[in-house]
């Protein structure tokens, strides 16, 4: 059977985030996050659920480490809950919160897994939101204090730190489009939030390195290639607009020390900025934001196809059959991952890259035999891994892949309705049940290779993962 092999030492992992899996809402002195608060607002979470218990990883983390060990993984990307460490945002760090992550990190190391933590995956302490949240520059300073408290405690065991996960989502979905916490609808506030997220990244990266010169620091960005629906200049400009709004607004300041002029002009034209001078940028900010990084993490799920709408404004074209979609309505488009990695490599030349998230939501119920045959997920992963391998062949310095996600979990505004896990979670007792994709992924990891056909070769061994 044909095999596509990955380079020796390629790092295989899975990714999760604290707010989505931990639960333990009131335990260990944890404070309230903006998502805890947002989830109490009627209508904000599709199924009306709250992330109070979620996958109960706060209690079941030892079992989850066993699952990952069973998969043969080299690393685990997780996030640290800021309100566990600073329940009210500022003041003394909560040592019970640090103890929790210390035990997790020690458990991972004992199991031979590299801990690959992200400091911010959207769960801002509500107390900081009450002071303005990311729209306030003070939050960037609080983030540095928080980062140092965590890295001081864990820095002797954690080598690589990620500051932020997808600042576009935190800023735009949270402050401009209202889909995410804190649910605001103010474009100007969204741009300020984006700047303070980036600034806090740069400040924290420098502070972490000052504290520990051996630490490696990076950031994780979401990326979608923007394709024009037709070759018309108007449609091509719509694709340029999306690329500036979504991709380059973050890549350019981080790698080039400047916001993209065309995307700034777009915001000015929409009345969302007073002029080309950004009022929230102070001297030295862009130098701080563009501090050189050890790696960039890329999250890829799909592409977008753009066209000029009837009023000339850019709109996304819903993908049409025969393309297939995941339950998120996202087109399955593996070549976009190759394109993304090659583009970032060519245009921004990061030292090293990781695919920090990639995966698919499909709801496949267990069959009468209890087995979950998630063949569509396996197909999605198979295609994307081949695309990642092609990007390496084209020169992208890709060093690892983190599958989103280990467990079905709290998918933000969708609650528990979108299932990304390679393990299902029993809502009654929290039991983890491997899907066929878990077996398939274990085979990939073990072989450091993808085989010719996307089938699970170790079917029917569902008990193998039971911790
Ligand atoms: C990414 C997020 C992650 C999860 C996946 C599906 O944008 O980083 O938390 O929601 O999408």
In a domain, 279, yes or no: no
Question: 202, 205, 195: which is closest to 249 by C-alpha?
Answer: 195
Gap from CA of 76 to ligand 1 centroid (Å): 16
- Answer whether residue 92 shows pLDDT above 80: yes
Number of domains present in the structure of the chain:
1
- Answer whether residue 262 shows pLDDT above 60: yes
pLDDT at 138: 98
pLDDT at 451: 87
Gap from CA of 166 to ligand 1 centroid (Å): 8
In a domain, 145, yes or no: yes
Gap from CA of 172 to ligand 1 centroid (Å): 14
In a domain, 309, yes or no: yes
- Answer whether residue 458 shows pLDDT above 60: no
In a domain, 181, yes or no: yes
pLDDT at 320: 73
In a domain, 271, yes or no: no
Rounded mean pLDDT, 54-74: 98
Q: pTM to 2 decimals? A: 0.97
Provide the edge-to-edge strand list for the sheet that holds 304-308.
Answer: 226-228, 304-308, 314-316
Q: Is 246 in the pocket of ligand 1 (CB under 6 A)?
A: no
pLDDT at 2: 83
Active site residues: 166, 357
Rounded mean pLDDT, 107-134: 98
In a domain, 454, yes or no: yes
pLDDT at 318: 86
Q: 291-324 pLDDT, tens per residue?
A: 999 999 999 999 999 999 999 899 999 877 767 8
In percent, the amount of the chain with pLDDT more than 90 equals 94
Domain that holds residue 342: 3-256+286-465
> Which residue among 21, 123, 166 is best mutated to probe the pocket of ligand 1, counting the most ligand atoms within 8 A of its Cβ?
166
Mean pLDDT of the chain: 96
In percent, the amount of the chain with pLDDT more than 70 equals 97
Length of the chain, in residues: 467
Distances (CA, A) of 231 to 121, 135, 308, 323, 366: 37, 38, 11, 20, 45
**For the chain, first and last CA: distance in Å?**
32
In a domain, 263, yes or no: no
Residue nearest atom 9 in ligand 1 by C-alpha distance: 17
Q: Can you give the CATH number for the domain in which 320 is found?
A: 3.20.20.80
- Answer whether residue 460 shows pLDDT above 50: no
Rounded mean pLDDT, 126-152: 98
In a domain, 321, yes or no: yes
Q: 160-196 pLDDT, tens per residue?
A: 999 999 999 999 999 999 999 999 999 999 999 999 9
């Amino acid at each position: 059977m044909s095999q596509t092999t990955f380079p020796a030492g390629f790092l295989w992992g899975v990714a999760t985030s604290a707010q989505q899996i931990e639960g333990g809402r009131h335990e260990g002195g944890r404070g309230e996050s903006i998502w805890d608060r947002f989830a109490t607002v009627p209508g904000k979470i599709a199924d009306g659920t709250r992330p109070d218990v979620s996958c109960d990883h706060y209690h079941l983390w030892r079992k989850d480490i066993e699952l990952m060990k069973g998969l043969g993984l080299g690393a685990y990307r997780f996030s640290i809950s800021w309100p566990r460490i600073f329940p009210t945002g500022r003041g003394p760090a909560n040592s019970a919160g640090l103890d929790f992550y210390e035990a997790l990190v020690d458990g991972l190391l004992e199991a031979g897994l590299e801990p690959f933590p992200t400091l911010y995956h959207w769960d801002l302490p509500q107390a900081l939101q009450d002071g303005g949240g990311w729209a306030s520059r003070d939050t960037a300073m609080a983030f540095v204090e928080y980062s140092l408290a965590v890295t001081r405690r864990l820095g002797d065991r954690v080598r690589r730190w990620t500051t932020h996960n997808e600042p576009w989502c935190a800023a735009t979905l949270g402050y401009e489009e209202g889909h995410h916490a804190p649910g605001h609808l103010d474009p100007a506030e969204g741009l300020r939030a984006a700047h303070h997220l980036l600034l806090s990244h740069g400040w924290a990266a420098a502070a972490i390195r000052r504290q520990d010169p051996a630490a490696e620091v990076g950031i994780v960005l979401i990326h979608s290639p923007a394709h024009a629906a037709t070759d018309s200049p108007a449609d091509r400009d719509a694709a340029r607009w999306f690329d500036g709004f979504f991709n380059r607004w973050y890549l350019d300041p981080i790698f080039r020390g400047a916001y993209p002029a065309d995307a700034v002009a777009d915001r000015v034209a929409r009345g969302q900025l007073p002029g080309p001078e950004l009022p929230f940028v102070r001297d030295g900010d862009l130098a701080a934001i563009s501090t050189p990084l050890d790696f960039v993490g890329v999250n890829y799920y799909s592409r977008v196809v753009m066209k000029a709408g009837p009023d000339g404004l850019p709109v996304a074209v819903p993908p049409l059959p025969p393309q297939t979609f995941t339950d998120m309505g996202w087109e399955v488009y593996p070549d976009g991952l190759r394109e993304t990695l090659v583009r970032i490599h060519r245009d921004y030349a990061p030292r090293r890259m990781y695919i920090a998230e990639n995966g698919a939501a499909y709801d496949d119920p267990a069959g009468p035999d209890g087995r979950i045959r998630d063949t569509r997920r396996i197909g999605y992963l198979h295609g994307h891994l081949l695309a990642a391998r092609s990007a390496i062949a084209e020169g992208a310095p890709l060093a690892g892949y983190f599958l989103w996600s280990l467990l079905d979990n709290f998918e933000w505004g969708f609650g528990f309705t979108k299932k990304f896990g390679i393990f299902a979670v029993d809502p009654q007792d929290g039991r983890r049940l491997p899907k066929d994709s878990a077996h398939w992924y274990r085979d990939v990891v073990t072989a450091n290779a993808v085989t010719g056909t996307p089938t699970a070769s170790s079917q029917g061994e569902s008990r193998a993962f039971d911790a």
